[in-house]
Structure formats: structure tokens, C-alpha cells
Amino acid sequence: MANLLRFLLLLCSVLGAAAAARSRNAYATMMYMGTPRDYEFYIATRVLLRSLADLRVDADLVVIASVDVPRHWIRALHLLF
């Protein structure tokens, strides 16, 4: 668990540095597996990102996905943009 937290902190700092170069603001969400409602959270993440993209917000859109999230879900999110 400690290794996962270290990895997430490192990932957030790297993504934060990259995002700071493009925009002052960012919307970030996390996707992880292990709950009975994983698919519902995936759909909610898609709706959130699509709504923000359609509104053309002046912010970076960031998804932090754990390694156990299905790759086709990640590809589907990537195709939204």
C-alpha cells in the first residue's frame, strides 16, 4: 500500500509539472478497481470528462488510473479527446 501511495504521489507531481506548462487549472480524477461499482465510476468519469471538454473549460483534464483498470477503458477515455 505504501508503494502505491508513493507511486501516486510521484505521478501527481510529474503530471502537475507537465500540466503547469499548459494551463493554470486542471480537473483531475482517479480510476481504480476493487469496488462493486467499478463500471459505474468509469461511466461517471467519461461523463465528467466529456462534459468538461464540451464546455471547453480552460483547464487540463487528468485521469490517474491504477494498473488494474482495464486497458480498453483507458483507450476509450483517450479517444474522447
- pTM: predicted TM-score of the whole model, two decimal places: 0.67
Overall number of domains in the chain = 1
pLDDT score of 15: 63
Residue pair 33/66 in contact (Cβ under 8 Å)? The answer is yes
In terms of residue numbers, what domain contains 50?
A: 2-79
> What SS3 class is residue 28?
strand
Task: Write the burial class of residue 63 (CB in 10 Å: 0-12 exposed, 13-18 middle, 19+ buried).
Answer: buried
pLDDT score of 18: 58
Report the chain (81 residues): mean pLDDT per 10 consecutive residues.
Answer: 60 60 82 94 95 92 93 89 72
